[in-house]
Amino acid sequence: MLMQRTLPGQQRASGGLRYHAVRPSSVSSRTVLRRRTAVPASSSDVPQGWGPADASKQSAGQQGPAGQPQEEPVELPKAPPSPALSSQDALVHPPGFVLRRFIVFGGILLGYTCLYLNRGTLTFTAPVMVNDPLLSLTKTDIGAMTSAFPAAYGLSKFLGGMLGAAFSPRLMLALGLIATSGINVAFGFTSGVWWWTMLWALNGGIQGIGAPACAMLLTRWFAARERGTYWGLWNISTNLGGFLSPLVVGYLAKHFGWQWGLMAPGMFGLAAGTVLLFALADKPEDTGFPPVEAVKEPAAGADKAKQSAGAALADSMKEVVTSWRTWLLALVYFFVYLIRQGCTSWLIFYLLEAKGAVDAAAAAITVSGLELGGLLGGTLSGVLSDKSIRAAKADPNAGLVGRRVQIVMAYTVACIGVLLALKQVPTGAASVQWLVIAALGFTIYGPQMLIGLCGAELISPKSVGASQGILGLISYMGAAAAGIPLSFMQVRYGWNGYFTAMIGACVVSLVLLLPLANAKSYVQAQRDAKAA
């Protein structure tokens, strides 16, 4: 008779076979079962019902002493591969990832703050330059220098977004900061209006690549459910750079000469750009971590990785240009920037002419509420959109981009209400005017921040830069429309015409946003296609 015994962890199975589980190795994702069998000492020990073939099969490969139980490994199917770092149900990160991402995000904030600081240096050194008798500069000369910047910046932002598909965003941000900082240093060592105009146009041309690079880094390091919060926090860097410029640059130019108003921020930017080369990483995979979101890649993914920079650029351009949703967002961006620039350019005149501001300095203080309100509005819009996305996780049909678009629409409706309130605010009530203008900034900067994020999430990660380039180019066309066209409305129809144009821009934006109110992100579309 075959002696049968049950070992700890075993369970009796039919046919006299027993199984017990073996603890899996710490480096393996497989569970292995050991099947314990008894090797007969002779043919007489073979259980009844077994033939010679059965006995030979059972004993084949068993080298132990006759009659001793042996172990034969039986492997269960492998566990599925680890998912991306962030899923729809929970944000789970491996050890070390949060710290590494924090370093990357800190680098993004530092880099863009320094970019913005080196963007505004001429604005606050110009008054000192005009008053320097050795330079013999006129306001027309300053105007020629400053007008060269926005034209170059708008074109650069478009081209920088296009090139982002073929180049490293880490290098774009770090080397771009080093280059623009070097230009500020060189500005202090040169002389002559033509040299300065050329340098400042070159500064604008380099500055435009910063925003697309930051957008690409944010979309690669942060998943959709948290991206809005960090996108909003990134926008703080513009307010921080704008806050530091008059304090740092103005102080240095006044007390140490106009050259140091440009060179000192440039030197700091050179050091910061060097730090970014080591602090940033293009994507989590470059530092040994899996991607934050699983994206379905085409079967020819290996070939795609080998394609030339020109082919990658062509693919990104094709994806963005053929995306009707991206073009809708670009049109909305046009009107958002028209409203924003219309406020920054014309509210001082409105307060002076219609609301009893005593002088331009007093009006400027009142208008300062626009930036502070914008800081709060932009940050909160990202948090609100993330919460909206998390609240919709139970609905598989809820579009993640659409959730953010709904927040944009709510802000736009509020903007209409604040514009109407600004018309009715009492004359001479500077504190009330400041609060209303701060509320106006809150409602404007929220959509400005979220539309760029929506544009990044509508298309594939490799085309984020191209998307930001298109949006940036169209947005600066809107800012330009706040100049002569809006001034025509104000001169011909008075301030009522001005407010009619601003509210009309809000209404058109709402109409354009309606088809996007339930739009799905690129990641969602890929998952749906994979499940189909």
How much is the pTM?
A: 0.66
Closest to 448 in 3D by CA, of 425, 478, 485: 478
**Tens of pLDDT, residues 76-111:** 444 444 445 444 444 677 889 999 999 999 999 999
Q: Which of 40-49, 101-110, 470-479 has the lowest mean pLDDT?
A: 40-49
Average pLDDT over residues 6-27: 42
Q: Is the distance from CB of 177 to CB of 111 less than 8 angstroms?
A: yes
Give the Cα-Cα-Cα angle 435, 150, 132 (nearest 5 degrees).
Answer: 85
**Confidence band of 366 (pLDDT split at 50, 70, 90):** confident
Is residue 449 pLDDT above 80, yes or no? Answer: yes
Parts of the chain belonging to CATH 1.20.1250.20: 96-292, 324-532
Question: Is residue 18 classed as helix, strand or coil in its secondary structure?
Answer: strand
The CATH topology of domain 96-292 is: Growth Hormone; Chain: A; (1.20.1250)
Joined together, the tokens standing for residue 186 give: 């060189």
The position carrying tokens 């996780």 is 393
Question: Distance between CA 42 and CA 285 in Å, rounded?
Answer: 59
Give the architecture (CATH level 2) of 324-532. Up-down Bundle (1.20)
**Tens of pLDDT, residues 133-175:** 888 888 778 777 877 787 788 788 888 777 766 789 999 999 9
Joined together, the tokens standing for residue 353 give: 């002419």
pLDDT at 37 (0 to 100): 46
Closest to 448 in 3D by CA, of 479, 484, 486: 479
Question: What is the dihedral sign for C-alpha 355, 359, 361, 362?
Answer: negative
For the beta carbon of residue 529, count every other beta carbon within 10 angstroms: 9
